[in-house]
Amino acid sequence: MAALPTHIESIHPALWRGSQLARAYGRTVDTGYAALSAELPGGGWPLGALVELLVQQPGIGEMRLMRPALTRVSQRPVVLLQAPHVPNALAFSYLGVPVDKLMWLRASKTADALWCAERVLQAGTCGALLLWQQHIRSEALRRLHLVAQATETLLVLVRPLASAQDASPATLRLGVRPAEGGIAVDIIKRRGPAQTEQLSVTLQPSPILLSSYGRVRRHSLAPAFAGGISTKVVASV
Amino acid sequence: MVLERDKVTVLDAVARDAGVRVGMKRGGVVTLLPDALMFDRSAEREHDMQRDVAMALLRFSPQVAVCEEETIVVELTASLRLFGGILRVCKEVREVVSAIGVTAGMSVAPTGRGAWLLAKAGRRRVLKVQSLERQLGGLPFMVVPELRRFADWFNGLGCSVLSDIQRLPRAGLKKRCGVDLLDSLDRAYGLAPELHEWLELPPTFSARVELPDRVEHAEAILFSARRLVVQLCGWLAAQQLALTHATVTLEHERGRQAIEPTLIDIALAEPTWHEEHLVRLLKERLGRTELQAAVIAVRLTAADVQAAEPPSDTLFPEPGGSAQNHNRLLELLAARLGAENVLRPAPAPDHRPEHANQWVPVQSGSKNGPNGRPKTVSAPDDLPRPTWLLHVPLRLMVKNHRPFYGSPLKLVSTGERIEAGWHDGALVTRDYFVAEADDKSCYWIYRERPSVTSEETRWFLHGLFG
């Protein structure tokens, strides 16, 4: 019997050891935050897969977390489906998403919203689809995940943090909490070893621009410490 | 079952099991099956149906002829490569015919008359003249209408199939039976040229179909409406037109007072002639329509058409899908959600955030805008604006002279005074601040200037920094 190769992961690109990060199976788009990218398989948000952002409440920095990725995919339209509040177009153009690429869909029923999400993904003409849902059944999640796999669209599902305990077919699940100067990210699920530490991400741009105090803090990019262990944090400007 | 001159001509399996046979009289049928549904055969409606099918078949070829004895002849030679071979065409023809809601036997032959004869005798497909001759030779001569008059005579001669008749001397046949018979046979065998009366297209399209029963639910109309769409697509394809605007009229049952028919307008941003897209749009629109009364008939009218543009065949297709695909997606979304729920931003130059942040339906702006693009207003570069605006500003509690939302809020920016709207009666006098809660999340709050309405300071939450 031939000996197994020492590097099992060299057999097939889909193989990886439990202690390693998976390699990029499909395409990815850079998160723009180096510390976060380093922790994600393939070094960014996966395209054509379901990504879940579990937020404590809407409006704690989740859009600024997505900002670099959205800017990169915004040659094609960016669809906001069942957004929690009225999206402010000026703020989006400030974040770097062109106003004429934005689209806001309001659906009164969850069934309508999921139907829309499927259609948008099947058409494959949009760069990103951001979907907000409070309660979503696991069949619906699996269906979304399946549709997403045939596309090159960045699909992000924003759900409440409480649903972190529920199982989900998403390839990447991140918990997001507000923190000083940015957010703290828990990696709940990824293709790779479990990450127990929280990751501090300094978000750009900070909302506090008009105060001199805020300006100082904006430019001092001191590494943040989380859980007693320093995590490399570099924010791109 | 269908009766013609009080005799059964068509019957279903249930009737056959009960003992009803073709040619029975009405009285006999009533004795066997008291609750049988009997319809009188209507030649006019049959002809209309035949015309409907012919119209739908126009998508395969511009040369479609409605012939005698419930047959339609389509000249397909020029279309074979476009549709990818005769088998594919046959499959698609069968789909179209079943979408109309009828069944058909189909035959293919190098001559129209030959195909007609084969179709009358059963379903056969021949591509070469030699095999056509062989196949025709085996047919009973009764299928040829011109021969039926002389049936007894031919039987007496011992002829039963067409090849027997072909063997008879032509001169004698011509003398006894006339020129028509020989001409007809020659056309079938490809020895004489054929002349068909091709279907002439009406300059406008408006088709109506009566529903088999009164229908209460809009979704149930879809099957009949699909039949109209199939016809419309045939008509469009033959004229090389694309649809931009169509109207569906649902005619209601006439009760005590006449009810206005329900109109459904279908406006298309991207001109189309695809059946699938139209049916999907119609399905979503019908799903959203509430009927006042039962519907008995549906009419589809092409209100506005324009010349179809052929699809551009680029060597490398765009990975992101074409603009047409995107427009089709938008139409579909608007059909399901309603146009007022598919929005794009149209920022207005105004200091008040809720006025500056305008959203308009995606499909509305393309008409009045100069080049179809919304005007982009560049926002000041370093002005913090929250990603989410609350629909209605939320009044905040004040505790210890500080606004309170979950936890006491700490003001972390200098104020930004927005005072505008004196000209249109929606005056706002607000000082906006960025506030930070205990859990480090940031809010966009404002203080209404006390002098305006009341003496107390009132704080409102207006935005969230997403």
With beta carbons under 8 A apart, name residues in chain B contacting A88: 353, 357, 385-389, 463
Beta carbons of B210 and B299 less than 8 angstroms apart:
no
Q: How far is CA B346 from the centre of its chain?
A: 32
Task: Please give the pLDDT value at position A237.
Answer: 38
Per-residue pLDDT of chain A (237 residues; tens, 9 = 90+): 566 677 777 777 777 777 877 776 668 888 888 888 888 888 888 888 899 999 988 888 888 888 889 988 888 889 999 888 888 888 888 888 888 888 899 888 888 899 899 989 888 888 899 999 988 888 999 999 999 888 888 999 999 988 888 888 998 899 998 888 788 898 998 888 888 888 888 887 777 766 555 444 444 444 444 443 444 444 443
- Location of structure tokens 């002389």: B150
**Which residues in chain A are contacts of B383 at CB distance < 8 A?**
94, 209
Across residues B457-465, what is the average pLDDT?
86
Distance from CA of B327 to the nearest CA of A (A): 10
The residue type of B76 is L
Give the pLDDT band of residue B316 (cuts 50, 70, 90): low
Q: What's the confidence (pLDDT) of residue A229?
A: 41
- In this prediction, residue B97 carries a pLDDT of 81
Model confidence over B372-388: pLDDT tens digits? 444 555 555 567 788 88
Instruction: Give the per-residue pLDDT at A129.
Output: 92
Query: Which of A176-180, B54-58, B118-122, B452-456 ranks highest by mean pLDDT?
Result: A176-180
pLDDT of residue B373: 45
| Domains, chain B | 2-40 (3.40.1170), 59-189 (no CATH), 206-309+323-336 (3.30.1490.100), 388-464 (no CATH)
Find out whether A137 and B357 touch, Cβ atoms under 8 Å: no
C-alpha B108/C-alpha B124 separation (Å) is 7
Q: Which residues on A lie below 8 Å from B436 (Cβ)?
A: 208
Task: Please name the residue that has the structure tokens 């990818």.
Answer: B84
The pLDDT of residue B46 is above 60: yes
pLDDT of B132 higher than 60: yes
> Degrees (nearest 5) of the Cα angle B314, B319, B322?
65
Mean pLDDT of chain B: 78
Question: Which helix (H) or strand (E) covers residue B434, if one does?
Answer: strand B428-436
Concatenated DSSP letters for B213-274?
EEE-SGGGGHHHHHHHHHHHHHHHHHHTEEEEEEEEEEEEP--SSPPPPEEEEEEEEEEE--
pLDDT given for residue A225 in this prediction:
43
Mutate to test the interface with A, among B327, B337, B351, B387 (most CBs of A within 10 A): B387
The pLDDT, as a whole number, for residue B315 is 61
Q: Which of A91, A93, A210 sits opposite B413 (nearest CB)?
A: A210
- Which of these, A187, A185, A194, A138, lies nearest to A166 by C-alpha position? A138
Nearest CB partner across the interface for B388, out of A84, A206, A208: A84
Rounded mean pLDDT, B110-120 = 79
Percent of chain B scoring above 90 in pLDDT: 0
Residue with tokens 């001759």, as numbered in its chain: B133
pLDDT of residue B371: 42
- pLDDT tens per residue across span B400-424: 888 888 888 888 888 888 888 888 8
Does residue B6 carry a pLDDT above 50?
yes
Closest partner residue to B388 (CB to CB) among A87, A124, A152 is A87
> If contacts are CB pairs under 8 Å, which of residues 51-80 in chain A contact chain B?
56-64, 75-77
Residues of A in contact with B329 (CB under 8 A): 119-120, 123, 125
The pTM is what?
Answer: 0.67
Pick the more confident residue, B343 or B189. Answer: B343
Average pLDDT over residues B19-36: 74
β-bridge mates for residue B304, sequence order: B245
**Structural domains of chain A, with CATH:** 25-196 (3.40.50.300)
- Residue B328's pLDDT band (boundaries 50, 70, 90)? confident
At residue A15, the pLDDT reads 79
DSSP 8-state secondary structure symbol assigned to residue B109? -
CB contact under 8 A, B390 and A85: yes
Phi, psi of A87 (to 5 degrees): -70, 140
Q: In chain A, which residue's Cα lies nearest the Cα of B333?
A: A116
The Cα of A159 is separated from the nearest Cα of chain B by a number of Å equal to 14
DSSP character at residue B363: T
pLDDT at residue A212 in the model = 52
pLDDT band for B368, please (50, 70, 90 cuts): very low
Q: Which of B164, B162, B180 is nearest to B120 (CA)?
A: B162
Which ipTM score applies to this complex? 0.80
Q: Looking at chain B from residue 380 to 419, which residues have their Cβ under 8 Å from any Cβ of chain A?
A: 381-391, 412-416
Which pair of tokens denotes residue A52?
Answer: 């879940």
Average pLDDT rounded to a whole number, residues B57-61: 79
Q: How far apart are CA B418 and CA B385, in angstroms?
A: 13
Confidence of residue B152 (pLDDT cuts 50, 70, 90): confident
Inform me whether the pLDDT recorded for B398 exceeds 70: yes
pLDDT tens digits, residue range B257-312?
A: 777 777 777 777 777 777 788 888 888 887 777 777 777 788 888 777 777 766 66
Q: What is the per-residue pLDDT for B64? A: 81
Of A59, A105, A211, the CB nearest to B464: A59
Pair of tokens at residue A83 = 């957004």
Nearest to B231 by CA among B288, B298, B289, B331: B298
Q: Are B225 and B281 in contact (CB under 8 A)?
A: no
pLDDT value of residue B370: 41
Answer yes or no: do A208 and B442 touch at CB < 8 A: yes
Separation of alpha carbons B262 and B251, rounded Å: 7
d(CA B25, CA B30): 9
Distance CA B344, CA B362 (A): 5
Confidence of residue B195 (pLDDT cuts 50, 70, 90): confident
**A93: chain B residues, CB-CB within 8 Å:** 347, 376, 378-379
Q: List beta partners, residue B302.
A: B246
Q: Residue B81 — φ and ψ, nearest 5°?
A: -70, -35
